[in-house]
Chains A and B, each alone.
Chain A
Amino acid sequence: MTDHAAIAPSEARTLRSYVYDPKIRAIFFQILTLVIVVAIGWSIFDNTVANLARSGTASGYQFLKGRAGFDIGASLIDYSSDSTYGRAILVGFLNTILVAFFGIITATAIGFIIGIGRLSKNWLIAKLCTVYVEVFRNIPVLLIIFFWYKGVLSSLPQVRDSLKLPLGMVLNNRGLAFPRPVWGDAAWVIPVALLIAIVATFIVARWAKQRQMRTGQQFHTIWAAIGLIVGLPVLAFLAVGAPLTFDFPIAGRFNLSGGSVIAPEFVALYLALSFYTASFIAETIRAGIRAVAKGQSEAAAALGLQPSTTTRLVVVPQAMRVIIPPLTSQYLNLTKNSSLGIAVGFPELVATGGTTMNQTGQAIEVVSIWLVVYLSISITTSLFMNWFNAKMALVER
């Protein structure tokens, strides 16, 4: 103990010893970095505020409460020119979410098919899928948007030569109009029936699993589920006397009136984003499946599992581990690329925000809203995918 006390530098530390102490040095440099970062941040903020004041422009977010005064072509919520700028930006945000949501689903579906297709033993299928990937992956997404908007959708007939499709649908260069369902008073039973069906399906699935564990007998839950989820709402619908009428699109003097319309701007953006991102997803899927060692499926076969069961229980769970993280990046890319909708006049976040910025002159505020919104969407998507990844990851026992 006396030796130890002699070594301990508690009282006799010189300044020099502090300078050479790696711990103290580390803390010093961290504090220095922090100070520099804060100073730069402050100087940017201060400079901006000073310049804004000097340029005589109003600043702050009060403008969001002002009357917007402009109309928006496509909106998921009630919006008119009497609504506020904040609501206009919200409309744009919801449109961004809408196109991103459907884009992600479609891109994933196409990507899965193409990715698996590239691994097909059929020469033609494999080559076609390769061509798809190489074409869409190597063309800028803006061109794909223009291709769909100008090349394909603009070649549709004029409004006065509209194509009449079955089921009262009408197609022209202003979109696809279809009958809008108008539900009667008793229609509330249908979602209730659907809810009951979903709950019942869970119970059936649980029972089937327990029975298989106990007796080894299999029960095809899928048929029961389809029967319940489709059948029960249909029965309910018929039981309350089919409370459903349709509002058909009718040719007016200028446009079709009535019905619902899917605008070509949305379709062009949605298809372009789906096809473009699908090519990347296909490669991710292919890489994921390739990453599962061949021995795994051979071992499964040796155990007597059928090929479909092998894919479902052995290959896919392991492939998912590799697929999900890069898939997340593709989803984020798709969401961010939706800002290109402004090129074809789809009123997404950047479009409505841009108009707001122009009418109010609040450039910094609107740009900051864009940043925060895209960042939030991306972080939310990431968190969800991380959660999904953790759930799908192999649980080591």
Chain B
Amino acid sequence: MKKTLLSAAIGAAVLGFASAASAATLDTVKSKGFVQCVVNTGLAGFAAPDASGNWSGFDVDYCKAVAAAIFNDATKTKYTPTTSQTRFTALQSGEGDVLFRNTTWTINRDTALGFNFRTVNYYDGQGFMVPKSLNVKSALELSGAAVCVQSGTTTELNLADYFKANKLEYKPVVYEKLPEVNQAYQEGRCDVYTTDQSGLYSLRLSLSNPDEHIILPEIISKEPLGPAVRQGDDQWFDIVSWTHYALVQAEEFGLTKANVDDIRKSSTNPDVRRFLGVEKDTKIGTDLGLTNDWAYNIVKAVGNYGEVFERNIGQNTPLKIQRGLNALWTKGGLQYAPPVR
């Protein structure tokens, strides 16, 4: 829409003029008093505003965790909603401090786009959703189908590669915004909806008849989703990365939002005491540029990784996503935090 052009133009202009972009992000964040996170315009379970404009979701909790680590106050956040097309310009131009927007970590984005990725907060893969009435059992039967996809995503690229590699024909139907893709799929403009599987689960909920659609078994790509920051500010990069690691480590320690206060008082385990900043003469937090109770503040504000997952997208939510690859390494998953010492 016009807005895209405008925001792209403004983004480009800001990119041209911005000179503060390379000042230490932590100092900028502290002086303005909040963390500005670039998020999705609305993807249930990941980042979506409710009727009164309060944001919630998996990505939003990460933003709150960063705010808690810095300010000991998870409410000190602001959100920049972006489409898949505008997200990178928004981060490049300094409209946000960090990108939490179901963004796949690729080498191109890590290098040519000028961003830094280090952590993967959600291991995802691209899938397909079709109406049950089509009687499709496998993605390999999709030759000749019209496929709805959002523009400017790795999804769009994987789709082209997958159909080409399997010598299947398809007709792309491309929209810029998720609601437009949803509506087109629902109205039968296309036969197949493709995006990350987590996204498919989320989107299926928003259809009027979720039970009439199935998600095909094939996962056609690796989609490691994680936060991104601008290159050239290692301290800020560390803070964002270690916020994720702190969430994972907290789950491994069995620290939850509910029990973290008690354990902090009673624990004698030096690992846990160091993590929560109660060990004598610890410098872990201050070395990060934060206070030593940064990890405690994160857990106190949003809980551990498992809690964030279950609260927003887990079995008790409408999305009903299994932990799968996102279980802790101790439970057969890939979520693993380097030692906090």
Which residue numbers of A lie inside 8 Å of B, CB to CB?
44, 47-48, 51-52, 54-58, 69-73, 80-82, 142, 150, 154, 158-159, 173-174, 252-255, 257, 264, 339-340, 342-345, 347, 350-351, 354-355, 357-361, 363-364, 366-367, 370
Q: Mark B17-31, 1 if CB is under 8 A from A, else 0.
A: 111011000000000
B188 within 8 A of A: yes
One of A345, A350, A361 near B184 (C-beta < 8 A): A345
Residues of B within 8 Å of A359, CB to CB, are: 108, 152, 157
B5 touches A350 (CB 8 A): yes
> With A55-B232, A142-B2, A355-B156 in contact, do A154 and B161 touch (Cβ < 8 Å)?
no
Enumerate chain B residues within 8 angstroms of A350, measured Cβ to Cβ.
4-5
Q: Nearest Cβ in chain B — how far from A316, in angstroms?
A: 37
Is B205 an interface position by the 8 A CB rule? no
B160 touching A361, Cβ below 8 Å: no
Q: Which residue of B lies closest to A70 (CB)?
A: B156
Say whether A254 contacts B146, CB under 8 Å: yes
Residues in B neighbouring A73, C-beta threshold 8 A: 171-174
- Say whether B2 contacts A339, CB under 8 Å: yes
The contact sample of 25 A-B pairs, CB cut-off 8 A, is A47-B19, A48-B15, A51-B15, A51-B19, A54-B21, A54-B22, A55-B232, A57-B92, A57-B112, A57-B113, A70-B151, A150-B183, A252-B144, A254-B191, A342-B1, A343-B1, A350-B5, A351-B174, A354-B176, A355-B152, A357-B152, A361-B112, A364-B12, A366-B8, A367-B9
When C-beta atoms are compared, the residue in chain B nearest to A252 turns out to be B144
Closest-by-CB residue of B relative to A157 is: B188
CA distance A177 to B280 in the complex (A): 76
> In the bound complex, what is the Cα–Cα distance between A261 and B145 (angstroms)?
14
Q: How far is the CB of A49 from chain B (nearest CB, A)?
A: 9
CB-CB nearest 9 A-B residue pairs: A358-B152, A361-B113, A81-B160, A56-B114, A57-B114, A48-B16, A56-B231, A254-B145, A345-B175
B residues apposed to A, CB below 8 Å: 1-2, 4-5, 8-9, 11-12, 15-19, 21-22, 84-85, 88-89, 92, 108-109, 112-114, 134, 141-142, 144-146, 151-153, 156-157, 159-161, 164, 170-176, 180, 183-184, 187-189, 191, 230-232
- Smallest CB-CB separation from B160: which chain A residue? A81
Shortest CB-to-CB span from B3 to chain A, Å, is 9
Establish whether residues B232 and A363, one from each chain, have CB atoms under 8 Å apart when the complex forms.
no
Whose C-beta in chain B lies nearest to the C-beta of A257?
B144
Q: Is the CB of A255 within 8 A of B9?
A: no
Majority secondary structure, A binding face:
helix
With A72-B172, A340-B1, A350-B5 known as contacts, the answer to whether A158 contacts B188 (CB < 8 A) is: yes
* A-chain residues with CB within 8 Å of residue B108 when the two chains form the complex: 359-361
Kindly report which residue of chain A lies nearest to residue B183, judged by CB atoms: A150
Residues of B within 8 A of A80 (CB): 164
Q: Is the CB of A360 within 8 A of B112?
A: yes
Q: How far is the CA of A264 from the CA of B108 in the complex (A)?
A: 34
In the bound complex, CA of A72 to CA of B102 (Å): 24
In the assembled complex, the CB of B265 is this many whole angstroms from the nearest CB of chain A, namely: 45
A54 B4 Cβ-Cβ under 8 A: no
Judge whether B189 and A174 touch: CB under 8 Å: yes
Interface contact A351-B176, CB-CB below 8 Å: yes
A residues less than 8 Å from B232 (CB atoms): 54-56
Question: Could you tell me the distance between the alpha carbons of A44 and B14 in the complex, rounded to whole angstroms?
Answer: 11
Cα separation A70 to B172 with both chains bound (whole Å): 9
Contact of A355 among B15, B109, B114, B151 (CB under 8 A): B151
Q: Are A255 and B172 in contact (CB under 8 A)?
A: no
* Given A56-B231, A57-B114, A350-B4: A70 touches B173 (CB 8 Å cut-off): no
A51→B157 contact, CB < 8 A: no
Report yes or no: B188 in contact with A345, Cβ–Cβ below 8 A: no
Quick check: B85 and A355 within 8 Å, CB to CB? yes
| Cross-chain contact of A254 among B1, B142, B173 (Cβ < 8 A) | B142
Q: What's the minimum C-beta distance from B138 to chain A, rounded to whole angstroms?
A: 13
